[in-house]
């Protein structure tokens, strides 16, 4: 009985200390690790949220770029960080659910080595062509590519990323034969698309819309179920005649595994407050993203449901990295 009382006292003390820590959290700047270069879509998203997050948390939010290996370098940095809520990772679809199916020796497991905090955006893609391609609509492009099997190239930001897998899904849905040309990032891929070295590409809407509006590329369709406000005159792939083709990437924040539940709840609530701010939502929409917030528990369920879908897409593409 005495032993039981001692255990209960210790458990109560531990619970109180956890609550006290959560109430004092954060006690220093919060570091957000981004595994991709500054200036890209993830960086834009982080900068949009970080100032508002500072005001909610009452501590500075610092962006830290750990670039390399399709986001793996950044993921490893966060995975090894103390699980106290002061280090977070902003990750995209590739880091969270594509890499596990792509790399045979991936040094992390998304749902084992990280604690989901919040999904903050859904990110449709646009299907783009070089302006010299004589196709103004997606059906016209499909006819153009069908008449030239193996002669149409599509660029991507790298093997196995979402800009590679979406065209592979498009090929599967349409029966087209196009040749994949992988690049080291979206910037050089865009350069060659605009120069005509590749004829086709799928890319996130913020960048795609900017180049489309400048006349440097032509957007034929968007991959979401509804049209996107950043490209209001561009139809969806479904509207263009491919039934059920809805492929949308997403952004989200994760903490190291073992982060206390009270801290996870505090962070998730903070992101929820930021995502309700009208100026944040309007900026996201204007950039082409859908402010589709999910809290920690729902985000964890969402990730678990996305894993097999993207694993199947990787398998069909034949992409594999070590």
pLDDT at residue 9, as a whole number: 47
Domain spanning 124-222: CATH 3.40.50.970: no
DSSP 244: T
Q: Which residues pair with 115 in a beta bridge?
A: 255
Residue count of the chain, please give it.
322
Angle subtended at Cα 292 by Cα 289 and Cα 295, rounded to the nearest 5 degrees: 140
Alpha-carbon distance of 63 to 194, in angstroms, equals: 31
* Topology alike, domains 29-122+249-317 and 124-222: yes
- Residue where the block lists tokens 């492929």: 247
Alpha-carbon distance of 34 to 44, in angstroms, equals: 11
pLDDT at residue 322, as a whole number: 67
DSSP 14-56: HHHHHHHHHHH---SPEEEEESS-TTSHHHHHHHHHHHHHHHH
Task: Locate 164 and state its tokens.
Answer: 């590679």
pLDDT at residue 12, as a whole number: 47
User: Counting Cβ atoms within 10 Å, is residue 150 exposed (0-12), middle (13-18) or buried (19+)?
Assistant: exposed
**Cβ pair 89, 78 in contact under 8 A:** yes
Alpha-carbon distance of 93 to 298, in angstroms, equals: 16
| Average confidence (pLDDT) per 10 residues, the chain, 322 residues | 52 49 84 89 91 96 92 96 98 94 93 98 95 97 97 92 92 95 89 97 90 96 93 97 93 98 98 97 88 97 94 85 72
Looking at domain 29-122+249-317, its CATH superfamily turns out to be: Bordetella uptake gene, domain 1 (3.40.190.150)
Reference 119, options 313, 312, 284; nearest CA is 284
What global pTM score does this model have?
0.83
* Sequence ranges of the domains in the chain: 29-122+249-317, 124-222
């Amino acid at each position: 009985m005495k032993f039981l009382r001692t255990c209960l006292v210790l458990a109560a003390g531990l619970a109180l200390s956890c609550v006290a820590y959560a109430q004092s959290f954060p006690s220093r700047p919060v570091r957000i690790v981004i595994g991709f270069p500054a200036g890209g879509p993830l960086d834009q998203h982080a900068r949009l949220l970080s100032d508002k997050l500072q005001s909610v948390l009452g501590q500075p939010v610092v962006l830290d770029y750990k670039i390399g290996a399709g986001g793996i370098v950044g993921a490893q940095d966060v995975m090894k960080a103390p699980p106290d809520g002061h280090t977070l990772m902003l990750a995209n679809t590739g880091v969270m659910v594509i890499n596990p199916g792509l790399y045979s020796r991936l040094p992390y497991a998304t749902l084992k080595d990280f604690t989901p905090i919040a999904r903050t955006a859904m990110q449709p893609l646009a299907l783009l062509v070089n302006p010299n391609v004589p196709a103004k609509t997606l059906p016209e492009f499909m006819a153009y590519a069908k008449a030239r099997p193996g002669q149409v190239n599509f660029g991507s930001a790298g093997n196995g990323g979402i800009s590679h897998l979406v065209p592979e899904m498009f090929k599967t849905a349409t029966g087209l034969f196009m040749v994949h040309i992988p690049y080291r990032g979206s910037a050089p891929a865009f350069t060659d698309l605009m120069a005509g070295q590749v004829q086709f590409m799928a890319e996130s809407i913020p960048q795609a819309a900017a180049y489309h509006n400048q006349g440097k590329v032509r957007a034929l369709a968007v991959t979401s179920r509804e049209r996107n406000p950043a490209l209001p005159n561009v139809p969806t792939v479904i509207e263009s005649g491919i039934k059920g083709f809805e492929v949308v990437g997403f952004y989200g924040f994760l903490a190291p595994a073992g982060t206390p539940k009270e801290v996870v709840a505090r962070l998730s609530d903070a992101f929820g407050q930021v995502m309700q701010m009208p100026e944040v939502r309007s900026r996201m929409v204007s950039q082409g993203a859908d402010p589709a917030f999910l809290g920690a528990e729902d985000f964890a369920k969402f990730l678990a449901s996305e894993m097999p879908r993207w694993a199947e897409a990787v398998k069909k593409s034949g992409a594999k990295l070590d």
